[in-house]
Amino acid sequence: MNHELLSISLDNTGRRFNRDWIFRGVEYTFNSGSCYAILGPNGSGKSTLLQVINGSLGASAGKVSYSLNNLIIPQENIFQHLSIAAPYLELIEEFTLSEMVDFHFKFKPYLPGIDKNILIDLLNLPSAEHKQIKYFSSGMKQRLKLILAFCADTPLLMLDEPCSNLDSQGVEWYRSLVERFLANRLTIIGSNQPYEYDFCNYNLYITDYKK
């Protein structure tokens, strides 16, 4: 399990589209070993804040800084240290499940003790290994996104609406991944469903930064 110490600091950080501020004045530090929930109603900017935190969107004001084991990481390199599952991230539909797993883990290492066979067993989708992803249901696709993120050995795990398209059995499965794979990581979850985040140590309300 990953023991790298990651810290992300937001210093008076804001993001706007045209003249409208989605959020502004965020002063916050995220540290390894804790789980943070970013909360707010639909359309409030949770996904935008997650994208600013992970460097895929630039801040319109203030700054975001990263350190790993007390060494500064340039923003353009943070992606090497994170795994993410989100509704707006696409899977490669032409790939089979097996090919998608192989492709993903060309870029990220497996967690210790995990390999392709164990991951596919954990996914609990019998007979799907050689099926093209375009034939997966939305729930199967969500399971695949989650297992790829949880099982990569990265110090940062980001989950945006992790239980979208999951049925009650899928939600239980998600909770089993949380119990098994969150230790020592920095985990940030964007949500407005308590069962997705009620185990988090800290709650950050985006409505506090609507100025």
194 half-sphere exposure, CB direction, 13 A CA radius: 0
Q: Phi and psi of 182, rounded to 5°?
A: -95, -15
Other CB atoms within 10 Å distance of the CB of residue 68: 18
Please compute the mean of the pLDDT values over residues 21-35 and round it to a whole number: 96
Domain around 173: 6-209
Please compute the mean of the pLDDT values over residues 113-142 and round it to a whole number: 95
pLDDT at 31: 96
Q: Which two tokens stand for residue 159?
A: 């989950």
- pLDDT of 103 above 70: yes
pLDDT in tens, 35-69: 999 999 999 999 999 999 999 999 999 999 999 99
State how far the alpha carbon of 17 is from the alpha carbons of 50, 51, 59, 61, 157, in Å.
15, 14, 11, 12, 26
Please compute the mean of the pLDDT values over residues 158-164 and round it to a whole number: 97
> Cα(156)–Cα(32) distance, rounded to whole angstroms?
8
In the chain, the number of structural domains is 1
* In-domain check, residue 21: yes
Against a cut of 0.85, is the pTM above it? yes
Three-state helix/strand/coil letters over the chain: CCCCCEEEEEEEEEEEECCEEEEEEEEEEEECCCEEEEECCCCCCHHHHHHHHCCCCCCCEEEEEEEECCEEECHHHHHHHEEEECCCCCCCCCCEHHHHHHHHCCCCCECCCCCHHHHHHHHCCCCCCCCEHHHCCHHHHHHHHHHHHHCECCCEEEEECCCCCCCHHHHHHHHHHHHHHCCCCEEEEEECCHHHHCCCCEEEEHHHHCC
Give the domain CATH number at 138.
3.40.50.300
Percentage of the chain beyond pLDDT 70 is 98
- pLDDT of 162 above 60: yes
pLDDT at 2: 57
Please compute the mean of the pLDDT values over residues 114-137 and round it to a whole number: 94
- pLDDT of 170 above 80: yes
> Cα(59)–Cα(14) distance, rounded to whole angstroms?
6
Please compute the mean of the pLDDT values over residues 25-31 and round it to a whole number: 96
Please compute the mean of the pLDDT values over residues 74-81 and round it to a whole number: 93
- pLDDT of 4 above 90: no
pLDDT in tens, 118-128: 999 999 888 89
pLDDT at 210: 86
* In-domain check, residue 1: no
* In-domain check, residue 41: yes
> Cα(138)–Cα(166) distance, rounded to whole angstroms?
8
> Cα(48)–Cα(2) distance, rounded to whole angstroms?
27
Tell me the average pLDDT of the chain: 95
